[in-house]
Amino acid sequence: MTETAQPEAKTARGGRRRGRAPAQAGPKPIQQAPYWQPKMPFDPVELVSADELESIHETSLKVLEEIGMEFMLPEARDLLKQAGADVRGDRVHFDRALIDQAVATAPAEFTVHARNPAHTIQMGGKWMAFGNVSSPPNASDMDNGRRVGNRDDYQKFLKLSQYFNCIHFLGGYPVEPVDIHASIRHLEALRDMATLTDKPMHAYSLGPDRIRDGIEIARIARGVDQETLNNEPSLMTVINTNSPLKLDVPMLQGIMEMSSRGQVVVVTPFTLAGAMAPVTMAGALVEQNAEALAGIVMTQLVKPGAPVIYGSFTSNVDMKSGAPAFGTPEYMKSTIIGGQLARRYGVPFRTSNTCAANTVDAQAAYESVFSLWGVTLGNGNLVKHGAGWMEGGLVASFEKFILDCDLIQMVMEFLQPLEMTEDALGFSAIEEVGPGGHFFGCQHTLARYDKAFYAPLLSDWRNYEQWDASGRPDAMTKANQLWKQALADYKEPAMDPAVREELDAFVDRRISEGGQATDF
Amino acid sequence: MTETAQPEAKTARGGRRRGRAPAQAGPKPIQQAPYWQPKMPFDPVELVSADELESIHETSLKVLEEIGMEFMLPEARDLLKQAGADVRGDRVHFDRALIDQAVATAPAEFTVHARNPAHTIQMGGKWMAFGNVSSPPNASDMDNGRRVGNRDDYQKFLKLSQYFNCIHFLGGYPVEPVDIHASIRHLEALRDMATLTDKPMHAYSLGPDRIRDGIEIARIARGVDQETLNNEPSLMTVINTNSPLKLDVPMLQGIMEMSSRGQVVVVTPFTLAGAMAPVTMAGALVEQNAEALAGIVMTQLVKPGAPVIYGSFTSNVDMKSGAPAFGTPEYMKSTIIGGQLARRYGVPFRTSNTCAANTVDAQAAYESVFSLWGVTLGNGNLVKHGAGWMEGGLVASFEKFILDCDLIQMVMEFLQPLEMTEDALGFSAIEEVGPGGHFFGCQHTLARYDKAFYAPLLSDWRNYEQWDASGRPDAMTKANQLWKQALADYKEPAMDPAVREELDAFVDRRISEGGQATDF
């Protein structure tokens, strides 16, 4: 009569409740749902009213008009000037009509192609796609602790990103492979990405040679010609503004290269409220919106109709220490309102699964689930840093990767529409069992029990005594076993030998040429 | 340019980034927001369509009409028979018109009075109220492990429930004080509840004497006469159906005593899909809805207009082991749809912050945040087990209590409308700082930084090196310090000496009479 668990509950097959099956000779393969791309089944939440949304929009237009934004690349300023912007030195002041016209040409939905067509994703509308951790300088796991990123860890994270069906795209390098020289790192890293995974790819905008190499590697991997690639977005790049109100040279080069070739630009201001943006969330959103609009305008001036994504990364800092905070209530709000803004402009929306924890404890989990809560209610279309991101992006954690896959899988399960057939409504089962009975053995249960509910990767639902007797493992300990098992189960996706040959020839040639001069 | 934390960030006061302040002579008091009751700032989510909701409603009416429900108390059956129900033995078949008429008299909103008027809460509409953990047989903490509940732990949890402003009501005994003899346990336990806290109270429906004693203690504590109490709900009781489709004697006695005195009945079917309910979530919701409607009808037959709450507790079990599962995607869905059903009937909605974890690890956190996600989108009005509930209700954990208070505070912060004033929109601050600047030292930041963002209880936002040097504490370790500090800071709320005298006289007399005969 009190709301406690039922220690005497029986199994579907009539046996006494028991723990997990005893350890097998080898570990069981990890159970995961087949690959699918989720869609929001309900309308995203409107956290601010239409009027309030307009006040953010209007204030950000005023920022772009009266304060302006610095564009550090002369060619970019020339293009803006031709389009009618008021350019004074590095500072560009935007006229409202220019913004309206340019934003209007950005597509609301588009397809991002993977070299494996089964992994091609839809962007915009109610679609959602989750990516892996991207860009941390460090990697960590429970066995070997925290270290500077290296190619071995990099490849392992790529394999995990390929292995887990809930990861829909590569958001960047899951960890920086620092042991590869910077001038050729992008070549080796993108070759690994193109061969160890077959999902949509990302290249960094760190100089024009690097991004051109990225586009060429994406083209070769897909086995298409340049014209096809220009019409089929197959590579993404994140353009972070140097907040407040500045777009650096390599970022602008990235926009010019990527947009001119019809590839996906993800404009993401890095507006931490109280640091690079006003200490109010409304003010940080104004700044985010101004910077995002400026970047989106730039893409459309390069090529009207070029695929572009509105990125939101606005969070707050800990005002006691200046440390960045993630997965906070403020982050949830900014993410949901970011979604409102992106939809206002009819541009797909990019968000992230963030966390600032130092270890895979309760904090890591609650910051991530709060992030995913905001991401979902905001209908993030492209969810970066989905799995493995920790310490505010300073570390890629193998155990966090598994935790996050579990969390994303749960969110995806939540996004599955509920079965509402007559059989699911269960009148006959209730009639069969009747008052005071139980459903474990009834026909309705037996026909459905093996696929009835989501089976988590980490949740330990054994009773206390069994859990205690098995050494009291916490979720992090179980995650440590699972990433190793996933790596053992991983299979490299097939690649046409001719494609592989072309890829290697290109990469090897570019390496022999010295890659990108590291001169900035 | 990559989305990582800023290790060189500066503080609002211009200093270098630093960790928390060095340890003081004594611990700093815990920072928490003043007491307030939150309200949903947006519309709750409609996870199933109006048609689908009707199909749940219609199927549950068919269950009550054709299968019926067992009512084990003869007086209850008599009342149902007089109202036109078809009573055959213990089994009661409900006519649709009877259900419609009775449910229509249940109030959509009401006030639940606390002995401290500042802690009186509103029930229904968009209001939300969070309660403490209730009813586990065991308590646990990191220092002394898991043990059978006792009065000392019971009192400590009451003090924590009073101390934390995010706890709005007592949902029951936070842990069973097993060292008090069962016949007088309710008397000592409710005296403790009435004196150590001043928030709305709960008594268990475990026999008519106990519930009458509970009503009398609530009356005395509030210092009002019986007639006033009858018109001012001041005590809550949870009525769990014995699912499937059965209401036991003490539960029906509870409804008859409480509803006739105008006190709050929280009808909560315990419908775990795959165990006491069909293995489909739709079927489990049909059963939940049938049982909830039956209980609600009973309250209104006892006294039309009596305050009653629609309770949802539907979750799933692990079909591999039969173990109850909580905080799952299935739980989120059932909670949100439960809210849709409660609103359809115009009755306040009860939900819970659930988790099945065995320790305060990532699992405990993600199951709780997923629960709170469902609770929020479903607009739970009365959120039971808000803080401290673990192991599916088998244990009240001191560390989990702190974690949950942090989570609830974050949800409440999320529910605060965003400041959208012109000053908050921050144009002047952005203008002052300009491109490439930073906001730490600007006037806008200095005027607001100390109250700008939610300050978490547990989140450790120090950088890795500082965290590592301090012994790598996880969230559970910090929670262990905080519950002790909260107990040290706790102050017993004032009580009029005359009220205290009357309360002691009543409780002592009833104890000397032997309390409740433990004969069922």
Q: For B162-220, what is each residue's pLDDT tens digit?
A: 999 999 999 999 999 999 999 999 999 999 999 999 999 999 999 999 999 999 999 99
Determine which of A142, A418, A472 to mutate to test the interface with B (most B C-beta atoms within 10 Å).
A418
- Closest among A342, A410, A411, A404 to A376, alpha carbons compared: A411
Question: What pLDDT is attached to residue A29?
Answer: 84
Question: What pLDDT is attached to residue A416?
Answer: 96
Q: Which of A9, A55, A272 sits opposite B322 (nearest CB)?
A: A9
Could you tell me if B238 and B266 are in contact, meaning their C-beta atoms sit under 8 angstroms apart? yes
Q: Give dist(CA A71, CA A118) in Å, integer.
A: 39
Q: How far is B376 from chain A (nearest CA, A)?
A: 11
Q: Give dist(CA A273, CA A281) in Å, integer.
A: 6
- In A, minimum Cα distance to B432 occurs at A67
B323 contacts A250? CB cut-off 8 A: no
Contacts of A456 in chain B (CB under 8 A): 328
pLDDT at B326 over 70: yes
Q: Give A277-326 pLDDT, tens digit per residue.
A: 999 999 999 999 999 999 999 999 999 999 999 999 999 999 889 999 99
Q: How far is A202 from chain B (nearest CA, A)?
A: 13
Sequence-ordered list of residues with C-beta below 8 angstroms from that of B242, at least 6 positions apart, any chain: A1, A436, B248, B251, B270
Q: How far is A445 from chain B (nearest CA, A)?
A: 5
What pTM was estimated for this model as a whole?
A: 0.95
Q: Average pLDDT of chain B?
A: 94
pLDDT at B24 over 50: no
**For the ranges A508-517, B28-37, B64-73, B444-453, the one whose mean pLDDT is highest:** B64-73
Q: How far is A502 from chain B (nearest CA, A)?
A: 30
- Helices B208-222 and B182-196 sit at what angle, rounded to 10 degrees? 20
Q: Average pLDDT of chain A?
A: 94
Q: In the predicted model, what is the mean pLDDT of residues B126-131?
A: 98
Q: Give B255-278 pLDDT, tens digit per residue.
A: 999 999 999 999 999 999 999 999
- In B, minimum Cα distance to A352 occurs at B3
A449 contacts B319? CB cut-off 8 A: yes
Q: Give B84-128 pLDDT, tens digit per residue.
A: 999 999 999 999 999 999 999 999 999 999 999 999 999 999 999
Exposed e or buried b per residue across A456-483, where buried means at least 16 C-beta atoms within 10 angstroms of its C-beta: bbbbbbbbbebbeeeeebbbbbbbbebb
Q: How far is B367 from chain A (nearest CA, A)?
A: 9
Q: Which of B137, B329, B436 sits opposite A4 (nearest CB)?
A: B137
pLDDT at B47 over 60: yes
Q: Which of B282, B319, B450 sits opposite A453 (nearest CB)?
A: B319
Please, which pLDDT band fits residue B28 given cuts at 50, 70 and 90? confident
Q: In the predicted model, what is the mean pLDDT of residues B273-287?
A: 97
Q: Which of B238, B278, B450 sits opposite A430 (nearest CB)?
A: B278
Could you tell me if B516 and B209 are in contact, meaning their C-beta atoms sit under 8 angstroms apart? yes
Question: What pLDDT is attached to residue A9?
Answer: 38
Contacts of B246 in chain A (CB under 8 A): 435-436
CA geometry: angle A357, A382, A515, nearest 5 deg: 85
B9 contacts A324? CB cut-off 8 A: yes
Q: Which of B4, B407, B429 sits opposite A135 (nearest CB)?
A: B4
Lowest-pLDDT range of A16-20, B314-318, B356-360: A16-20
Of A249 and B10, the one with more pLDDT: A249
Q: Which of A286, A392, A459 sits opposite B4 (nearest CB)?
A: A392
Of B519 and B108, the one with more pLDDT: B108
- In B, minimum Cα distance to A393 occurs at B4
Q: Give A248-284 pLDDT, tens digit per residue.
A: 999 999 999 999 999 999 999 999 999 999 999 999 9
pLDDT at B400 over 50: yes
A464 contacts B395? CB cut-off 8 A: yes
Q: Give dist(CA B48, CA B334) in Å, integer.
A: 10
Q: In the predicted model, what is the mean pLDDT of residues A429-444?
A: 95
Counting Cα atoms < 13 Å in the Cβ hemisphere of A496 gives: 11
- In B, minimum Cα distance to A287 occurs at B430
Structure tokens at A154: 């990099």
Contacts of B275 in chain A (CB under 8 A): 6, 9, 438-440
Q: Is B280 exposed, middle or buried (CB count within 10 Å of its CB: 0-12, 13-18, 19+)? A: buried
B358 contacts A362? CB cut-off 8 A: no
Please, which pLDDT band fits residue A20 given cuts at 50, 70 and 90? very low
Question: What pLDDT is attached to residue B517?
Answer: 74
Q: How far is A403 from chain B (nearest CA, A)?
A: 8
Q: How far is A227 from chain B (nearest CA, A)?
A: 30
Cis status, amide bond into A244, omega within 30 of 0: yes
pLDDT at A61 over 60: yes
Contacts of A378 in chain B (CB under 8 A): none
Sequence-ordered list of residues with C-beta below 8 angstroms from that of B190, at least 6 positions apart, any chain: B201, B203, B213, B214, B217, B507
Q: Is B227 exposed, middle or buried (CB count within 10 Å of its CB: 0-12, 13-18, 19+)? A: exposed
Q: In the predicted model, what is the mean pLDDT of residues A71-93?
A: 98
B431 contacts A474? CB cut-off 8 A: no
| β-bridge pairing A86-88 and A91-93 | antiparallel
- In A, minimum Cα distance to B135 occurs at A2
pLDDT at A343 over 80: yes
- Residue A460 sits at φ, ψ, to 5 deg, of -100, 105
Structure tokens at B322: 């039969």
Q: Give dist(CA B236, CA B259) in Å, integer.
A: 10
Contacts of B461 in chain A (CB under 8 A): 318, 321, 323-325, 356
pLDDT at A355 over 90: yes
Determine which of B245, B341, B361 to mutate to test the interface with A (most A C-beta atoms within 10 Å).
B361
Q: How much of chain A, in percent, has pLDDT values that exceed 90?
A: 92
Q: Kindly report the number of other CB atoms within 10 A of residue A337's CB atom.
A: 27
pLDDT at B518 over 80: no
Q: Which of A17, A52, A277 sits opposite B323 (nearest CB)?
A: A17
What are B127's strand-pairing partners?
B39
pLDDT at B343 over 60: yes
Question: What pLDDT is attached to residue B430?
Answer: 98
Sequence-ordered list of residues with C-beta below 8 angstroms from that of B219, at least 6 positions apart, any chain: B225, B226, B229, B234
Contacts of A211 in chain B (CB under 8 A): none
Please, which pLDDT band fits residue A3 given cuts at 50, 70 and 90? low
Structure tokens at A334: 């900014």
Q: In the predicted model, what is the mean pLDDT of residues B374-394?
A: 98
pLDDT at A452 over 60: yes
Q: In B94-150, at which residue ranges do the beta strands (DSSP E only) sit?
A: 109-112, 121-124, 129-132, 138-141, 145-148
Q: How much of chain A, in percent, has pLDDT values that exceed 70?
A: 94
Contacts of B202 in chain A (CB under 8 A): none
Determine which of A280, A281, A446, A466 to mutate to test the interface with B (most B C-beta atoms within 10 Å).
A280
B322 contacts A424? CB cut-off 8 A: no
Determine which of B65, B369, B404, B520 to mutate to test the interface with A (most A C-beta atoms within 10 Å).
B369
B172 contacts A328? CB cut-off 8 A: no
Q: How far apart are the first and last CA of chain B?
A: 69
What are B140's strand-pairing partners?
B146, B397
Q: Give dist(CA A373, CA A352) in Å, integer.
A: 11
Cis status, amide bond into B244, omega within 30 of 0: yes
Q: Give A389-420 pLDDT, tens digit per residue.
A: 999 999 999 999 999 999 999 999 999 999 99
pLDDT at B15 over 70: no
Q: Which of B41, B136, B373 sits opposite A373 (nearest CB)?
A: B373
- In B, minimum Cα distance to A468 occurs at B358
- In A, minimum Cα distance to B408 occurs at A329
A361 contacts B361? CB cut-off 8 A: yes
Lowest-pLDDT range of A233-242, A248-257, B48-57, B315-324: B315-324
Q: Which of B324, B439, B459 sits opposite A275 (nearest CB)?
A: B439
Show the DSSP H helices in B83-202 as ranges: 96-104, 151-163, 182-196
| A&B contacts, CB < 8 Å | 516
Q: How far is B191 from chain A (nearest CA, A)?
A: 21
CA-to-CA dists, residue A491 to A64, A446, B397, angstroms: 49, 34, 43
Structure tokens at B63: 């269950």
Report DSSP state, residue B393: G
Q: Give B132-177 pLDDT, tens digit per residue.
A: 999 999 999 999 999 999 999 999 999 999 999 999 999 999 999 9
CA-to-CA dists, residue A18 to A461, B278, B320, B322, angstroms: 10, 21, 8, 8
Contacts of A59 in chain B (CB under 8 A): 425-427
Lowest-pLDDT range of A53-57, B33-37, B317-321: B317-321
A323 contacts B137? CB cut-off 8 A: no
What are A98's strand-pairing partners?
none
pLDDT at B8 over 50: no
B317 contacts A9? CB cut-off 8 A: yes
B420 contacts A48? CB cut-off 8 A: yes
- In A, minimum Cα distance to B364 occurs at A362
B356 contacts A360? CB cut-off 8 A: no
Q: Give dist(CA A67, CA B394) in Å, integer.
A: 59
B69 contacts A6? CB cut-off 8 A: no
Q: How far is A504 from chain B (nearest CA, A)?
A: 28
